[in-house]
Amino acid sequence: MRRQTPKRKIKPDPKFGNITVAKFINHVMRKGKKSVATQIVYSCFEIISNKTKSDAMEIFENALRNVAPDVEVKTRRIGGANYQIPVAVMGNRKSTLGLRWIIDAARAKKGLQMSQKLADEIIEASQGRGNAVKKRDDVYKMAESNRAFAHFLR
């Protein structure tokens, strides 16, 4: 049996000193271009603070709280049939899913710069609307409709 690889420690980002922002930058990054991802995220935070006239970090954390799911569904094959089983989301996966959904919702928008799209999505998520929040609600509905299969969990 293989052993698990050790978890890497992520250093906090240089501007805000926040580990969550550093993870957000790493999720935005494509093809190893971290400097580009850093510019996108920092300009996104500037746009947020200009639009809302309040602290961008508070809005970002509020958005992440609104998007991060408590329940998700996992597919399990039992007796020739596939069941969607609702499972509680634990630990870091909650924030990871939230970050991923915010970025995916921003990337799906067309016509603007990525920093602008990210800023719009974060502002909407902090207000409880937007595509990332809709994704979380869809996952909740799926978990609720498959609640009868929760006994298949173990």
CATH number, domain with residue 112: 1.10.455.10
pLDDT given for residue 154 in this prediction: 66
Write the CA distances from 125 to 13, 23, 101, 129, 145, integer angstroms.
22, 18, 10, 5, 24
- Per-position b or e across 26-60, b if 16+ CB within 10 A of its CB: ebbbeeeeeeebbebbbbbbebbbeebeeebeebb
- Is residue 85 assigned to a domain? yes
Which amino acid is located at 154 in the chain? R
pTM, two decimal places: 0.89
Are the C-beta atoms of residues 10 and 19 closer than 8 Å to each other? yes
Containing structural domain, residue 29:
19-152
Residues of the chain with pLDDT under 70: 154
What's the total number of domains in the chain? 1
pLDDT single digits (tens) 71-104: 999 998 888 988 888 999 988 899 999 999 999 9
pLDDT of residue 118: 95
In a domain, 1, yes or no: no
Does a structural domain hold residue 11? no
Inside any domain, residue 2: no
CB-based contacts of 6: which residues, under 8 Å, 6+ apart? none
Instruction: Give per-residue pLDDT as tens, 51-62.
Output: 999 999 999 999
The answer as to whether 4 is a domain residue is: no
